[in-house]
Structure 1
Amino acid sequence: MDKVMISVAPVASTDKHIVPVDIADDVVRCWQAGAAMVHLHVRDAEGNLTTDMSLLEETLRLIRKESDVIIEVSTGGVSNLTIQERCVPLYSDLVEACSLNVGSTNLGKAVYCNPVDDVEYCIRELIKMKKTPEVEVFEIGHIYAMREFMEQYDFYDPVLFSIVLGHKGEAPATPQALAAMIQMIPPGTLWGITHANRRDFSIIAAALGMGARTVRIGFEDSNYLDPNTVAVSNVPLVEKTVRLLRAMDKEPMSPAEARQHFNILSR
């Protein structure tokens, strides 16, 4: 199946005005344009990471009312929350998948802390709550760490990796870094691409040519359509990704196709 799942991460970390109806409307239009998954964080009205699920659940109910897009919520983000607090979205019936962060890294001037004990707690809760993990790997060591976790824990097949490039302090968004990361992805798993601070689609195109099964796009990572143009909503980013897929003789997955392909099913 030469199809790719488009995931939209619609809310920038700098957004200080979180309005559920606006986010939901943007996501539904992205779904109509070809996105099969949405990636969100648990945020308060000022955009801060929080344990209060009320605004997020309002957003998710609005999204689910109008679409069948796959709902993924992050267990990460730079904050002072404990791992128990970061895992709050795992217990929502509206959430189908969650990000899994398996190692620490520098993100700009911040340190994104994911010590081993925290990682294992998150893994155990993901498995217990039957949520599909998307393993976000920011450098080669994270992939190696996940390979070891796969030997210790009973993950559902196939395990999905997201190669994250472009944050200052982590693996750069270069073809060389992308190729090195891909070579470390274990056999029998799937992988996709997230390009942070993106100004063009060249690394996304390279990843698609090398076998990426997911592309994450959206304001959380970048609002650039090209080096000289920024998007006013997430929809044009999804539309451009669809055009890129079709130019490469590929098609976007529907949510139903993605649920089957990545084993995101009711269990």
Structure 2
Amino acid sequence: MREPRDKIFITCAVTGNLTTPEQTPHLPITPEQIADACLGAAEAGAAVVHIHVRDPSTGRPSMELAYYREVVERIRARDNQLILNITTGPGGRFVPSPDEPRIAAPGTTLMAPENRVEHIAILKPDICTIDLNTMNSGKEVVINTPTNVRRMAKVMRDACVKPEVELFDSGDIALMHDMLKDGSLAGPVLCSFVMGVRYGFQPSPETVIYARNLLPPDAEFTAIGIGRSAFTAVAQSYLAGGHVRVGLEDAVYLSRGELAPSNAAMVAKARRIVEDLGGQVVGPREARAIIGLPTRLADAGVA
């Protein structure tokens, strides 16, 4: 049984892929807003920022390399140590046509796995996510086949970028073990349990303990709560021996009926929860040691 850690790091997921501007006026949209949100989260105590980008004119999710590059350059111009975790989640969604399910309907984003990680190979962030889930998502399907995730993992490995493995159900953990066995992933693994997505892990202390006990002994993990479970998951993850994550990707409320005014405010609340429970929140330098990342030199260039 793992005890709560003395030191943990906070990840802030600042904008995501599914939160909409209609849900909150505080959602960062432009590369400048996303970079500022990351830096504000760092000032509040986040050691890691998880980055998606959006089309500045529409607010819709984007995979445009230029937007990712601008976000990274803006952050690195002001903070050289903050750990950058860039998504590779977009590109796995399939919407079947009602009358011919083999044919993709509008909303499908499914693409070749190498295209989903092209920006990782170019920008070489500290970390990038790799989703192992194939599952129902609303009325649609997310598809990440074992073959395709191995192809994505190879690009990450060749770029010397550490994967953060996102796990949506117990079968994903089984796939992760297989990938560790065949060398597609290298340990110690960094992973997250995503709880609260319909048809995946549901948020509860029992889920966190169950999922944690399926991991390799040396794994570093975070239990993520979506929506109303965002802050209860902070306590549950910490008490189970994990790290924590919050942000406007995961939830838009700071408390019941109160919209979070910023990602930084969510990080500050998560920090209070951890500290009130007896934990210590560490900055990027110590988080790099925990994760197994090199410390960046003060005069280093863009990640």
* Coarse TM-score class (shorter-chain normalised): over 0.9
| In 2: Cα distance, 1:26 partner to 1:266 partner | 23
Aligned counterpart, 1:64:
76
TM-score (norm 1): 0.92
TM-superposed CA distance for 1:48, in Å, is 4.1
| In 2: Cα distance, 1:39 partner to 1:113 partner | 21
Q: The residue matched to 1:243 in structure 2 has which SS?
A: helix
Within 5 Å, give how 1:91-130 maps onto structure 2: 91-93=121-123, 95-130=125-160
| In 2: Cα distance, 1:159 partner to 1:138 partner | 16
Within 5 Å, give how 1:212-231 maps onto structure 2: 212=242, 214-231=243-260
Within 5 Å, give how 1:9-24 maps onto structure 2: 9-12=13-16, 13-15=18-20, 18-24=29-35
Aligned counterpart, 1:53:
65
Q: Which amino acid aligns with 1:231?
A: A
CA RMSD after TM alignment: 2.0
Aligned counterpart, 1:80:
110
Gap runs ≥5 in structure 1: none
| In 2: Cα distance, 1:235 partner to 1:266 partner | 24
Quick check: 1:71–1:94 contact (8 Å CA) kept in 2?
A: no
Quick check: 1:103–1:145 contact (8 Å CA) kept in 2?
A: no
| In 1: Cα distance, 2:182 partner to 2:123 partner | 27
Aligned residues: 266
Aligned counterpart, 1:262:
291
Within 5 Å, give how 1:82-231 maps onto structure 2: 82-93=112-123, 95-153=125-183, 155-199=185-229, 201-212=231-242, 214-231=243-260
Quick check: 2:15–2:53 contact (8 Å CA) kept in 1?
A: no
Structure 1 window deviating more from structure 2 (118-127 vs 34-43): it is 34-43
Of the candidates 260, 276, 282, which is equivalent to residue 253 of structure 1?
282
1:103-135 alpha-carbon deviations (Å, 9 max, x no partner): 312222221110111111011111111101100
C-alpha distance 168-103 of structure 1, shift in aligned 2 (>3 A): closer
Q: Which amino acid aligns with 1:233?
A: S
Q: The residue matched to 2:111 in structure 1 has which SS?
A: coil
| In 2: Cα distance, 1:238 partner to 1:254 partner | 13
1:169-214 alpha-carbon deviations (Å, 9 max, x no partner): 11111222222211111222111111112355223212211101x2
| In 1: Cα distance, 2:230 partner to 2:131 partner | 26
Counterpart check, 1:36 vs 2:65 = no
Q: The residue matched to 1:201 in structure 2 has which SS?
A: helix
Quick check: 2:69–2:123 contact (8 Å CA) kept in 1?
A: no
| In 2: Cα distance, 1:121 partner to 1:80 partner | 15
Quick check: 1:61–1:94 contact (8 Å CA) kept in 2?
A: no
| In 2: Cα distance, 1:254 partner to 1:60 partner | 19
1:146-181 alpha-carbon deviations (Å, 9 max, x no partner): 011101016444211101100011111122222221
Q: The residue matched to 1:8 in structure 2 has which SS?
A: strand
Q: Which has the larger radius of gyration?
A: 2
Q: Which amino acid aligns with 1:152?
A: D
Q: Which amino acid aligns with 2:160?
A: K
TM-score (norm 2): 0.82
TM-superposed CA distance for 1:90, in Å, is 1.5
% identical equivalent positions: 28
| In 2: Cα distance, 1:180 partner to 1:259 partner | 27
| In 2: Cα distance, 1:240 partner to 1:154 partner | 37
TM-superposed CA distance for 1:248, in Å, is 1.3
